[in-house]
Amino acid sequence: MTSPILFDHYRSSASYRVRIALNLKGVEYRSIPVDLAAGAQKKPDYRAVNPQGFVPMLDDGGRRITQSLAIIHYLDATRPEPPLVPGDAADRAHVVALALTIACDIHPLNNLRVLKHLTGDLGLTEETKNGWIARWISEGFAALEALAAPRAGRFLFGDSPTLADICLVPQMYNARRFHVPLDSFPLLVRLDAEATALEAFAAAHPDRVAPPA
């Protein structure tokens, strides 16, 4: 069976999620870097296969799947061990809600295209941009900490990593990259440390997959 191909960018939070999921599943894959800073995602050849022009995109034997959470759900369906969402309907909804709090409500407001628009088209200063990032990450993390607390264990839900942790770790990386204070989120800091101690998470870290300088 041909190894899947991941169209990837080392600092993309969404790509980082998929790398973690592939590692947790033990799936060998080939990475094709897409240089977001150089605008490679906007080139006609990439847009021809991914009209949104985003990463990640997974090509699994000719099946091209976009959107990180859709890719992870696909991996969970086609490679079910270990499961990344619980089997129980209520538990599954809880884990997906935690993941979406990050993927839909926090991450989009601090991704590259939004930040470029703030400093480029709108002419905001770096200081104002960084304040924007800190506000939305901090507001989202406050909600996430409260939502996760009642059912957290070693991880955001229970004692095994799930889709929620796969989303948390890249967002914590972003928070630290932009110097967002994390003292108010001790649970998230603890859970992030628990997850990143696992090789599946550590091997997906941007520093481990960055292209050569």
36 lies in the same domain as 20: yes
Average of per-residue pLDDT values in the chain: 95
135 lies in the same domain as 196: yes
Whether pTM exceeds 0.75: yes
- Residue 54 placed within a domain: yes
Give the rounded distance of the alpha carbon of 136 from its chain centre.
16
pLDDT for the residue 39:
87
- Residue 64 placed within a domain: yes
- Residue 127 placed within a domain: yes
- Residue 128 placed within a domain: yes
179-191 average pLDDT score: 97
**How many CB atoms sit inside 10 A of residue 116's CB?**
14
57 lies in the same domain as 97: no
Give the Cα separation of 143 and 137 in Å (integer).
10
Residues 6+ apart with CB under 8 A from 132: 109, 110, 118, 124
- Residue 22 placed within a domain: yes
65, 82, 99 - which closes a domain? 82
pLDDT above 90: percentage of residues in the chain: 83
**Per-residue pLDDT band at 213 (split at 50, 70, 90):** low
pLDDT digits (tens, 9 = 90+) for 116-173: 888 999 998 989 988 999 999 999 999 999 999 999 999 999 999 999 999 999 999 9
pLDDT at 179 over 80: yes
Give the Cα separation of 178 and 5 in Å (integer).
30
pLDDT at 74 over 70: yes
pLDDT for the residue 1:
62
**Per-residue pLDDT band at 85 (split at 50, 70, 90):** very high
pLDDT for the residue 73:
97
Q: Closest Cα partner for 107 from 144, 59, 76? A: 144
Query: Where residue 134 sits, what CATH number does that domain have?
Result: 1.20.1050.10
119 lies in the same domain as 73: no
List, as own/partner pairs, every contact residues 79-86 make where C-beta atoms lie below 8 angstroms and the sequence separation is at least 24, other chains included: 79/25, 79/27, 81/25, 82/24, 82/25, 82/160, 84/21, 84/24, 84/161, 84/162, 84/163, 84/166, 85/162, 85/163, 86/157, 86/158, 86/162
Give the Cα separation of 135 and 109 in Å (integer).
10
**Weakest-pLDDT range from 43-57, 91-105, 113-127, 183-197:** 113-127
102 lies in the same domain as 183: yes
14 lies in the same domain as 57: yes
94-99 average pLDDT score: 98
56, 82, 108 - which closes a domain? 82
Domain count for the chain = 2
